[in-house]
Amino acid sequence: MDFFLALSTQAKVAVVASLLVFAASIYYLFFSSADKKKKAHTSTSKPAPTKPKEQAPKKDEEKRQEKESPSSSAGGSPRAGLGKPHGLSDEEVDEVFAHFSQVDSVGSGMVDEDEFREVIDLALGNYPFLEDLENYYMR
Amino acid sequence: MNVGDKATEKQLDGWVPREFSAADSDGGGALSFTDFLGAYAKLKKRLK
């Protein structure tokens, strides 16, 4: 201590400065190595959380395909559900469509008045309820 | 003609235009299958 006090002011400043530099270098060495270890640790552990992220979209896609597949594979009549608002079954709708398309020979998807009459004519022999049409006229 | 057994031609002459115009929702002079199905369903309900 006496030795330090005996030094000139410039020497004291130089000693203090060198001590600070030494302390700073120690500090830097210690913490920089700790950071490197941390970075190394995080860089090795990072790929692990990315795997589930990559798998997540796949699961979503699989779910979407599962949802889509039943409707696409079900197929069925293109007129399925068309008779629901009228309380008609799909089978009945198909039966009516058979008569409709028989008269609509052009395949326009439309029938005019004469064709409508033909459909009714065809239907009379096939739809039991239309046998009451005569009684309907007599009312 | 099957209709002759159940209803006369004259009866149909009166009935068809009436039913047709009732079913022709857009008044285009032609019925789509959906329109026809609606007319069929109404007729079925009426005659039951």
Domain assignments of chain A as residue spans, ordered by start: 2-74, 84-138
Within chain A, which residues score under 50 in pLDDT?
66-74, 137-139
pLDDT on residue A47? 55
pTM: 0.48
Hey, what long-range contacts does B30-34 have (CB within 8 A, 24 or more apart)? B30/A108, B30/A110, B30/A111, B30/A112, B31/A110, B31/A111, B31/A112, B31/A116, B32/A109, B32/A110, B33/A79, B33/A97, B33/A100, B33/A109, B34/A82
Going by C-alpha positions, the residue among B16, B17, B23, B38 that lies closest to residue A133 is B16
| Per-residue tokens: A54 | 């990559």
d(CA A99, CA A86): 18
Shortest distance between the Cα of B18 and any Cα of chain A, in A, equals 10
d(CA B30, CA A112): 4
Cβ-Cβ contacts under 8 Å for A119 (sequence gap 6 or more): A99, A100, A103, A111, B36
Interface TM-score (ipTM) > 0.85: no
pLDDT on residue A66? 46
pLDDT on residue A114? 86
* Angle ∠(A83,B35,B4) on CA atoms, nearest 5: 95
Using the beta-carbon criterion (under 8 Å), do A120 and B12 form an inter-chain contact? Answer: yes
Burial of B42 (0-12, 13-18, 19+ CB in 10 A): middle
Residues of A in contact with B8 (CB under 8 A): 137
Tokens 């790929």 found at: A47
Using the beta-carbon criterion (under 8 Å), do B2 and A124 form an inter-chain contact? Answer: yes
Using the beta-carbon criterion (under 8 Å), do B47 and A130 form an inter-chain contact? Answer: yes
Q: What is the pLDDT of residues B4-47, one digit of tens each?
A: 445 566 667 777 888 888 888 888 888 888 888 888 888 778 77
Going by C-alpha positions, the residue among A139, A122, A133 that lies closest to residue B7 is A133
Which residue from A minimizes the CA distance to B18? A113
pLDDT on residue A89? 86
pLDDT on residue A49? 54
pLDDT on residue A12? 87
Using the beta-carbon criterion (under 8 Å), do A87 and B41 form an inter-chain contact? Answer: yes
